[in-house]
Structures are given as C-alpha cells and as structure tokens.
Amino acid sequence: MITSILNNREVSSALPPGTPVLDFVRYNQYLTGTKIGCREGDCGACTVLVGEVSTGELRYRTATSCLMPLGNAHGKHIVTIEGLNMAELNPIQQAMADESATQCGFCTPGFVVSMAGFCLSKKAPTSQNAIAAVDGNICRCTGYKSIKRAAARVAQLLADRREEAPVNFAANQAILPAYFSTIAERLQALSLNLNGERTNDNPAAQRVGGGTDVYVQKHDEIRDASIRFLFDTPDLNGIRQVGDQCLMGASTTVTDLIESPVMQAHFPDFNQYTTLISSTPIRNMATIGGNFINASPIGDFTVFFLALDATLTFRAGRTVRDLPLRDLYQGYKTLDKHPDELLEQIRFTLPDRNTRFNFEKVSKRTHLDIASVNSAMSITIEDDVITTVRLSAGGVAPIPKQLTKTAAYLTGKRLTEALILEATRIAQTEITPISDARGSETYKRLLLSQLIKAHFIKLFPELKAAQLLTV
C-alpha cells in the first residue's frame, strides 16, 4: 500500500506504485482540478505540491504529477488545487482573477499551485522570484502579462514574512488553508507506521529516480512495471564536502544542488546556470544520477560534471566499482555499466582558488528545452600558465564528450586570444555533429566555437578579448 496525506486526509492506495500521481488523483480520488495537458512535463497543467519533513523541517516542492510515480508519494503530503481551496477564493486565486489572468481556465490550477509553491518556499518574496516559480507553466490563451502581474501581487502577500517559517506564515495569514499548520506533525506520525513499499529486490526491476526521463520514454508500460524506487533512498541522497572532494548521492536533485551550501560556496553562478535547465517542477524531480544514466548526448548535468571530471561509484550487491564519468559513454546510449549496477555516488574535486568554472547552453526556448549545444569548462591557472583544463560539450557527437585534444593543446600555455582561437579550431576536429531539429551541423559547429569563446570571455574579463567578440 502507498500511504500519503492527500490534501487534508490520509489515503492509502493499492494501485500499482508506478501509477502516475496524476492518474491517482484524477481517476482514483476524483480530484479533477488537476489537468492533463501534455503528459510529458512540458505544460504544467498537472502541477501538484509535494510536502515532506526534511532535516526536521516541513518542505514543499512542486512536481508535474504526470511524471511522478505514486511510489514517490509514499509518506508525503500531496496537494492538488482542491487542497488549496478556502471558503472564498484564496489570495492567490483572487490575484489571478483581479488581474484577468485566466480565460479558459485550463492552465489556471497549475499556475495557482506553482504560486502556492512559491509562497511555501524560502525564496525571497520578490516579483522576479514569483514569476520564476511559474517557469514550468504554459498558458495558451490569456497572455503572460496578466499572469506576471498576478505573480507580483502574490509576492506582495509575503512582504511581512521576515524570519517566520513559510508554511506557518502562509497558514497564519490565510494565504493557504489553516490545515497546513498540522501537516508536519501528521507526516511525522505517518512515518512511524510506514512499511517498506519502495524496496524491490527484483534485479530486473526498472530503476526510477525522479521519473522525468522514464515516464516520458516508457509512458505506456511503466504503470504496471516492477519498479525499484531510488528517489528517497537515504544512501543515494545528501551532498557533503570531505576535504577538497564533494560527495553526493546519485538521487540528488537539481534543486538539492541549487540549495546546497557546498555548491553555493564553490559555484557562485550555479543558480544562474540552472535557470537554463528545464523548469522549477522538473528541477525538483530530476536527479543527477538519472541525467547520467539516461545518457542523452545533450544532458546538461552530464556536460557540467564532465568538466569537473567526476568519478562515479556503482554497486551491484557487494561489488563496488569506481568509473570516471568520461569513460561511461561508449556509443549512443551505450554505457560501460552492467544492468545490475546501481549508480550510488558521484564524487568530484571542488574548484580551488586558482580554478575557474563556467557552463553555457544554447537552446531554442529559455525554459523547458533541451540544448542545441552545451558546454562547460574548468580551468586552473598558476603563475600565468594553464595547468589543468577540462572542456566538455554536448549536442556535437553521439555521446556527451570531454574535448581532450583541445584541453591537451591548452595545457602548459599562457592564455592569449590567439591560443583561444586555435583551441576553437582544434575542438572542431573532435566533434561530429549531425543536422537535426535542434540545428544544422554547420550551426552546431559554430555554436561550439562561440561557447568556448564565451567560457574565456566570462572567466577572464581581464583578457582583452576584442578579437574573440568579432571573429
């Protein structure tokens, strides 16, 4: 049985744990306010809130319920639009109505749930953050101006929050229903009675992290599949620093990384990079392990961690093996990995004070879009000489690649404009892009050259880069 608190009541379900939460709430619980649009995580019509007690605190994140397995709801608080309703319109719904931010209304529950997620988050109550919270929601008829005005009004509701916990503030100020203030205690009581629904010893079981790739690719068969759920496995979670190493569990989500003090200290622009990657609800669900094992040639985190030369730890029973991420990919979606092996941990050296890091991505849309070409670079310079450089690129070969020849050319040299231009030429010899929906071969070649230049322009503003900007 999967047991959770759904809105204001505890529910247990004997449905297959692979059932999407969307189908559970609509067809089993008859909560039809949650809409079905794309079923691919793209439109946000199915957005729900997922609450759990994490490090002693009740925390809410949004999720696209079309891609979320019921198994990942076990022991959590799932909130649909019905669970946000109050006697009158709640202040978020009122803001949407006052700003004429709804017409057909199909997208509106998703927008309201995402804005409620913003109210329950620790993000600073600015209009900019409120608007960013709806980056995973698409509206086809109202137009975004009015929705942005409504979001700005929602941010104003939080102006006096100061140090109060977001959940308490939202419940006390009647922004959200009062029952929210009872949830932390109810979830803790529930956790004492949970049984091990998420364990599965079947070696052939489909592994599922956040489900954001599996549920798109295997939509028809996944519901009834034998699944091993990895998202909440304690051994696969957590980010910590040991000396100059960062160790993180394979089920670390993108949002976990954004909120990690270790990442914030060593990658000050990390939040900025991630705004280019998917959307808030997908980042809440997407795991780094899932990104690596999905093996997309344009996986953003694969490219990011290739430039950090990350090492992976795989486990099959008692057998543990380390493998550099750069050696994982052998051909298109072909991995140096036995089907039994579970990716357990990711390890990489944190940048020191001589090391600079940058990530770049170009895609057709800013949000919810995969890259045409992406690239990352980690470069260490001591006494004006490049001592180590790792450059990665996605979208330019059947696999995400480390550009080793280009890196070898740069190593041991002084940084000059001419050196960078020659590096872009060498990089062209290492790639084999193909023309597809994300751009022609020629365009992707040009993009990679430009992204390499962008790394240097951003990381070395002191370099007189006039030629790079024009060539």
Ligand X SMILES: Cc1cc2nc3c(=O)[nH]c(=O)nc-3n(C[C@H](O)[C@H](O)[C@H](O)COP(=O)(O)OP(=O)(O)OC[C@H]3O[C@@H](n4cnc5c(N)ncnc54)[C@H](O)[C@@H]3O)c2cc1C
- Chain residues binding ligand FES by CB under 6 A are 36-39, 41-46, 64, 66, 102-108, 139-142
* Nearer Cβ to ligand X (84/368): 368
Q: How far apart are CA 138 and CA 144, in angstroms?
A: 9
> Least distance to ligand FES from the beta carbon of 21, Å?
10
Both structure tokens of 204: 């052939």
Q: How far apart are CA 208 and CA 136, in angstroms?
A: 22
3 state DSSP class of 364: coil
From 36-44, 83-91, 105-113, 164-172, span contacting ligand X (CB under 6 A): 36-44
Which residues have C-beta within 8 Å of that of residue 364, sequence separation ≥ 6?
A: 372, 438
Interface with ligand X (CB under 6 A), residue from 278, 311, 378, 449 = 278
Query: Which residue is it, tokens 């057909």?
Result: 104
Q: How far apart are CA 13 and CA 34, in angstroms?
A: 19
Q: Can residue 459 be called a binding residue for ligand X (CB under 6 A)? A: no
From 93-101, 137-145, 212-220, 381-389, span contacting ligand X (CB under 6 A): 212-220
Q: How far apart are CA 164 and CA 336, in angstroms?
A: 49
Q: Which does 80 bind (CB under 5 to 8 A by kind): ligand FES, ligand X, none?
A: none
> Least distance to ligand X from the beta carbon of 337, Å?
8
* Nearer Cβ to ligand X (153/228): 228
> Least distance to ligand X from the beta carbon of 444, Å?
17
Q: Can residue 285 be called a binding residue for ligand X (CB under 6 A)? A: yes
Sign of torsion over alpha carbons 383, 385, 386, 387: negative
Evaluate whether 4 touches 76 at the Cβ level (below 8 Å). Answer: yes
Interface with ligand X (CB under 6 A), residue from 50, 248, 368, 379 = 368
Interface with ligand X (CB under 6 A), residue from 23, 42, 135, 256 = 42
Q: How far apart are CA 394 and CA 303, in angstroms?
A: 6
Q: Can residue 378 be called a binding residue for ligand X (CB under 6 A)? A: no
Angle formed at CA 159 by CA 48 and CA 33, multiple of 5 degrees: 20
> Least distance to ligand X from the beta carbon of 336, Å?
13
Q: Which does 212 bind (CB under 5 to 8 A by kind): ligand X, ligand FES, none?
A: ligand X
Which residues have C-beta within 8 Å of that of residue 31, sequence separation ≥ 6?
A: 6, 7, 25, 80, 81, 82
From 7-15, 139-147, 290-298, 443-451, span contacting ligand X (CB under 6 A): 290-298
- Binding residues (CB under 6 A) for ligand X: these are 40-42, 207-214, 216, 230, 236, 250, 277-278, 282, 285-287, 289-291, 293-294, 299-301, 342-343, 368, 370
